[in-house]
């Protein structure tokens, strides 16, 4: 997996950082908690001040918490990528592995809770 952003946890339970993608390099990314409604997301994702996706809190098969993110931008090949937000040794990261088939990305590392 490639790290596309290093993030810092905020007091409100959200995350902020800077993207390192060719088309979005240096853009600020915010992952902000929102009130969950039904099967809806727990996080709103904005890039450079614009709504760009959403995030769902998940637990890996190993029991590690992560946020499954759906991130949209016209510069992406299919318009959407599916990175995961996980705890790392230095804080939190947004990791992405391009889909080569129909298998969803797997969370690497992780924390007991966010």
Residue 70 CA to residue 98 CA, distance in Å, equals 13
Q: Is the pLDDT of residue 112 over 60?
A: no
pLDDT tens per residue across span 72-94? 887 777 788 899 999 999 899 99
Residue 74 CA to residue 91 CA, distance in Å, equals 29
pLDDT tens per residue across span 27-68? 899 999 998 888 899 999 999 889 999 999 999 999 999 999
Q: What share of the chain is helix, strand, coil (3-state, %, to 5)?
A: 0, 50, 50
Q: Is the pLDDT of residue 114 over 80?
A: no
Residue 112 CA to residue 114 CA, distance in Å, equals 7
Residue 82 CA to residue 41 CA, distance in Å, equals 14
pLDDT of residue 54: 95
pLDDT tens per residue across span 8-32? 999 999 999 999 877 787 889 999 9
């Amino acid at each position: 997996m490639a790290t596309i952003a290093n993030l810092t946890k905020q007091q409100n339970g959200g995350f902020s950082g800077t993207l390192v993608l060719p088309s979005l390099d240096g853009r600020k990314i915010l992952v902000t908690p929102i009130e969950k409604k039904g099967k809806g997301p727990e996080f709103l994702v904005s890039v450079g001040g614009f709504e760009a996706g959403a995030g769902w809190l998940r637990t890996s098969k190993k029991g590690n918490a992560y946020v499954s993110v759906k991130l949209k931008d016209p510069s992406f090949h299919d318009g959407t990528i599916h990175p995961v937000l996980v705890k790392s040794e230095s804080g939190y990261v947004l990791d992405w592995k391009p889909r080569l088939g129909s298998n969803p990305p797997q969370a690497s590392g992780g924390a007991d809770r966010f």
